[in-house]
Amino acid sequence: MFNPFTKKNEKFEARPRTYLDHASATPMLPEVFTAMTPYLTELFGNPGSIHTEGQTAKAAVTNARTKVARALSVQPECVTFTSGGTESNNLGIIGVVKARHESGIPYEQIEIITTLIEHPATGKTFEYLGGLGVVVKYVPVDEGGQIILSQLQALLTPATLLVSVAYVNSEIGVIQDIGAISRVISKYTKQQAIDIFLHIDAAQAPLWLPCELSRLGCDLMSLDAGKFGGPKGVGALVHQKRVPISPISFGGRQEQGLRPGTESVASIVGFAKAFELAQSSWQSNAEKVGALQQYFYQKLSELIPTAVINGVVSDARVVNNINVSIPGIDSEFAVVTLDVAGIAISTKSACSSAGGGASQVVQTITNDTARASTTLRFSLGLQTSTQDIDRALTELAHHVAKIRA
């Protein structure tokens, strides 16, 4: 039996890998590693300390916060560094609801809106709040995965506090029209003279799309450095100054009291550098990788003509995502087979994959259980080549042929 930990398999381990799972994790950019290195070695102080070493670390965090705030057109105090996208989503969603509850409004009189195709970091948070009595509403999406704006408008009431959606869906890559969603909400809030906040999970966006809050029309944004060339284990919640947020964890006064605990200085410096690089080059990134996406579609139709694309195939899809269903395959077996051949892909988002089973996202947009059970997600990166695509699709085509034979 194959054992990847034995010396006998050194030749196998040395084989070149083809990595097509950039929606799960991206390689750290060299410039990011260079920026972080001093804070992993000689500049190791605790930013909460008042001595020179501590103040040097604090200055690095402050500088990083200022850079991110400037790029997103918010005040520095509106950038809260977290452990990643999941914590940012939790803090943004629960923190806003908790602040409203602490103002004297019972949970049962608070309404929040999302979709059934969100990442578990959002979906599970809404489930938790529903258990507290908060009224949770789900706005329908069309067969491409985009929110039906008329249905969103119909769900808004004076009790609505928050709408939360992914800017880019982590499984099918659909880009929600955040501006259009914001306009629907804004029109209603002006009529009713109330506040409804729009939160977006933008973890998959910075390398390919603009993320400035005022440009998009959102009030809160969650980010994850591991998805755009930065270190894993660091993210940010960014919000407009008018948004009230209560902490959901307790301890020291770090991060304006919203996120206690000693800051990971090196990671925060890495976050800021990666975000700066991503947002300064998103247009050229999108152009380059968009051409690869079109090449992928062409090769897929030639080699596996029975494959069906899940989600929109248009400008409303992020350029690095291809999600397909292939009739008759076991998607997890296909992922393992390609992995043994040196190719990394996935069935769905990494957080969703941990539980196995069919894709809830594809099930929701297609209402087809067989299709939702045979999904594969390819996510391209800045280093991806046409040779990588050729290799992956050739191996997959061989696997499909064997299964059908």
CA pair distance 156, 167, nearest whole angstrom: 20
How much is the pTM? 0.93
CA dist 158 → 109, 183, 349 (Å): 10, 16, 34
Burial (Cβ within 10 Å: 0-12, 13-18, ≥19) of residue 99: middle
Q: Residue 349's pLDDT is what?
A: 59
For the domain made up of 30-280, the CATH class stated in words is alpha beta
Q: Residue 252's pLDDT is what?
A: 85
DSSP-assigned beta bridge partners for residue 175: 168
CA 339, 343, 349, 352: dihedral to nearest 10 degrees? 0
3-state DSSP assignment of residue 144: coil
CB 294 within 8 A of CB 156: no
7-20+282-404 to CATH, choices 3.40.50.2300, 3.30.1490.190, 1.10.274.10, 3.90.1150.10:
3.90.1150.10
Q: What residue ranges do the domains of the chain occupy? A: 7-20+282-404, 30-280
**Ranges under pLDDT 70 in the chain:** 1-15, 349-356
Q: Residue 3's pLDDT is what?
A: 43
Catalytic residue among 78, 211, 218, 351: 351
Active site residue 351: yes
pLDDT (tens digit per residue) in 346-383: 997 555 555 567 899 999 999 999 999 999 999 999 99
Q: Residue 12's pLDDT is what?
A: 45
pLDDT (tens digit per residue) in 87-138: 999 999 999 999 999 999 999 999 999 999 999 999 999 999 999 999 999 9
The proportion of the chain whose per-residue pLDDT surpasses 70, expressed as a percent, equals: 94
**Same fold for the pair 7-20+282-404 and 30-280:** no
